[in-house]
Each structure stands twice: as C-alpha cells, then as structure tokens.
Chains A and B, each alone.
Chain A
Amino acid sequence: MDKKIVQPISRPVQGACGVTGTWRSQRPILDTSLCNGCLICWLYCPEAAISREDRDIDFTYCKGCGICAVECGKKAIRMVKEEIK
C-alpha cells in the first residue's frame, strides 16, 4: 500500500463547466418592490444562481433560462434581451 495510486478524483468548484453566464441571450431583472420573498425562484433555479437571502442573481453563471420569470407568482421578474454595450 505504499505506492500512490493516481485516481481521477474531482472536487466541487464554481464554474466547473466555465463561466456559463456567457450562454445567456436573455437577462432576468428582479423588481424588488414586487417580490414577496416566497423563494420559488430560488428553489427552481437550475443553476442555483439566485440568492436565498435577497434574490440577488449571480450573472456570472445565470444562463438566462427564464424559469424564474415564468414561475414568479408576483411577476417580479421579467426577461430582457441581453445586449453587449
């Protein structure tokens, strides 16, 4: 057992598949005045990119799928076209 066996072990990191925010063609915009904090957007984000505390969206990784905008019962999230300034 003294020989070291090299094993293909991976460790969890953010962005394991890159900066996935660059995939986005639409950007979710949250209107905090409409948000009632129900957390449905947090629960349904496939990227875990929405903060549970303040629903802040992590645009480094958000792919812009738009599930949050469709599922928000208060219509507090709308999707806008992603544009390069």
Chain B
Amino acid sequence: MKIKDLSTLEYITPGTGACAGCPSTIGLRIIGKALGENAIGFLTPSCAVASMGLTPQTCYTFPALNICFASAGASAGGAAMALDALYRKGKLQGEKPVVFNWVGDGGTYDIGFQGLSGSAERNDDYIHFCYNNEAYSNTGNQRSGATPQFALTTTSPTGKEIGQKNMPLLMLEHRPPYVATASLAYPMDLYRKVEKAKNITGFRYIEIHMPCCTSWRFPAADTIKMSKLAVRTGAWLLWEGEYGKLTLNGVTASLAEGRRKPAPLENYLKPQGRFSTMFKSPDKDKHLAFIEYNIHRELEFMAGRAKLLK
C-alpha cells in the first residue's frame, strides 16, 4: 500500500476551526481513508469538537455525535449494541457500520478511564482512538495523565512532577482483541493498523501520538517532524497487540534490538517551549539524564513484555 493508493474519501472539509498545523485533523483524514464511509464517530469535549464548527455547520463529513466527557466507553459501546439489536430485529440490513471514538488523552487517560475499562472488559464492539496531544489542549493546556515529566502546563507551572502512565499497555492488559499505538510520522503504519482493527469484532484501542504546536510551543510547520523525533528518540513507542500478546513495530523494534541508536533527546525536547524551564534550570543535565533513563527503562520494559507471551 502506498500513499497514492489511499482513498480520496475525506473525513474533514477545508475551513476547520483547528489551529494551523493541528495533528488531530491530519489523524482524522488518515483514519477516515481506512474506515471508509460506513462509520459512526463519537467525540468527547476536546479540540476535535471545538474545531468542528457551530451548529448547523460542521467540518466533519462522517456521522459524528458529541457526547459528554466520561462517557466514551458507554456511548460507543451502547451504540454498537443498539446497532446489533436493529440488525437482529431485521430493521437494518447490509454491513454494520464501524463505530469509533475520537477522544483526547484527557478523555482517555483521566476522565474516561473507568468507562473505557468497563467497556473493554465487556468487549464492546467499537474502535477507541485516543489522539494523544499530552495535555488538555482545548481548555488552554492543563496537565493530563499523558503529560510528560518536567513539561510546563497551566496546572504544572514549574514543570510536571511525574511522568505519564502507560495507558496503551493498561488497555492491552484488559486482553481485548486489538490494541495498537501509532504515529503521524509513519502514516502507512497507522493506516495498516486502522484497517486491521476495522476487520476485527470487539473492543479495539488505537492511540495516536499527536505533537500539538500550541500546547507544546513549537513551530506549527514542525508537527510531523516532532512526531518523527518522538519515535526516533524512543519517547513514543510503536507496537501492537492482540489478546494481550505484544509486538514492537518499526523503529521501536529496531531501537529495542539495538539495531538502531536513539536520536539525541535534546533534538526532540529543546524546540518545545514547554521544556524551557527545564532547559534553563541548573539541574538541566540531571533532568535530561533522568528522562533518558526513563525512556530506556520503558523501552526495555516493553521489549521484555513482548517476549513474555509468544
């Protein structure tokens, strides 16, 4: 599959309310090409909702339902069950639409976590996309469970004290049919994962890393460059798993096997204004070494986890 073979179907129309350089609309465009026309999306409060336009206008071409923050798991799960009932009663014919969530890290890691966990346990039939911009961006950049250590946000004004949790792994440990992480810098890997998930029944979780120029404070033009650096430094890991089995993908696999050296961490962190306080701190080297240690630890941990179940 090449870029040239991708569908011309667009999930967005030009003239969105998203910031210049927004990764979320890029992500929606790519997943749309994989999911196709027969899909229903659910969105919790986030940038993705704020940028869709004011009623009666929207920039999204897929059927989209705006739901409340904690309810991503229950809403999509309920919709999938309702569809099943309509098919059972013969009120709907043809192929069942793909039900999916397009939810931020705030709506996934924090506020929607328990609903999502219950839904994964019930094995509800939908794909949960977490577009992870590592902050509550829509409300002006508050820290979330996905914000990395030392990053400045309005609720961590001196830098966040602790690192992010490994949310995709937590979802994998529910042992659902499919869990994957992806990056905009590797669009065909993302496309493949969405297409694979589309053809699986049951609970599926795909988390896409989304460098946000507004919250992270780097130039809008560098959105994809930052995505790539996140993967090449090991700060963002690419993997997929089925029923609790885990495989590292692409660059992440090469890093874990030592076939590739990680890119210098400073190249990734220095252009991000959210780390400016850390870079000015007298403890800069200590902090950088600590981040590097944690990246290494996480990579080793996930490589070890991949070896556990074959």
Q: Which B214-231 residues have C-beta < 8 A from chain A?
A: 219-225
The answer to whether B220 and A65 touch across the interface, beta carbons within 8 angstroms, is yes
- Assuming the contacts A43-B187, A66-B221, A67-B224, asked whether A19 and B15 have C-beta atoms less than 8 A apart, the reply is yes
The answer to whether B221 and A17 touch across the interface, beta carbons within 8 angstroms, is no
Does A5 have its Cβ within 8 Å of any Cβ on chain B? no
The answer to whether A11 and B224 touch across the interface, beta carbons within 8 angstroms, is no
Q: Which B1-51 residues have C-beta < 8 A from chain A?
A: 3-4, 6, 8, 10, 12-23, 25-26, 29-30, 51
- Assuming the contacts A17-B51, A48-B29, asked whether A11 and B221 have C-beta atoms less than 8 A apart, the reply is no
Does A31 have its Cβ within 8 Å of any Cβ on chain B? no
By secondary structure, the A interface counts as loop
The answer to whether B224 and A46 touch across the interface, beta carbons within 8 angstroms, is no
The answer to whether A52 and B223 touch across the interface, beta carbons within 8 angstroms, is no
The answer to whether A66 and B219 touch across the interface, beta carbons within 8 angstroms, is yes
> Complex formed: what's the CA distance from A39 to B1 in Å?
14
Contacts of B60 in A (CB 8 A): 12
A53 nearest CB across to chain B (Å): 10
The answer to whether B223 and A67 touch across the interface, beta carbons within 8 angstroms, is yes
Contacts of B25 in A (CB 8 A): 46-48
Does B142 have its Cβ within 8 Å of any Cβ on chain A? no
The answer to whether A58 and B14 touch across the interface, beta carbons within 8 angstroms, is yes
> Complex formed: what's the CA distance from A61 to B59 in Å?
12
The answer to whether A48 and B57 touch across the interface, beta carbons within 8 angstroms, is no
Interface flags for A18-57 (1: CB within 8 Å of B; 0: not) read 1110011000000000000011101111111100100000
Contacts of B3 in A (CB 8 A): 38-40, 42-43
Interface flags for B184-224 (1: CB within 8 Å of A; 0: not) read 10010000000000000000000000000000000111111
Contacts of B10 in A (CB 8 A): 48
> Complex formed: what's the CA distance from A18 to B20 in Å?
14
Q: Which A45-83 residues have C-beta < 8 A from chain B?
A: 45-49, 52, 58, 60-61, 63-67, 69-71, 79
B residues contacting A by CB (< 8 A) are 3-4, 6, 8, 10, 12-23, 25-26, 29-30, 51-61, 184, 187, 219-225
Q: List 8 A-B contacts (CB under 8 A).
A: A10-B57, A11-B56, A13-B15, A14-B13, A15-B14, A17-B51, A20-B15, A63-B19
A residues contacting B by CB (< 8 A) are 8-20, 23-24, 38-40, 42-49, 52, 58, 60-61, 63-67, 69-71, 79
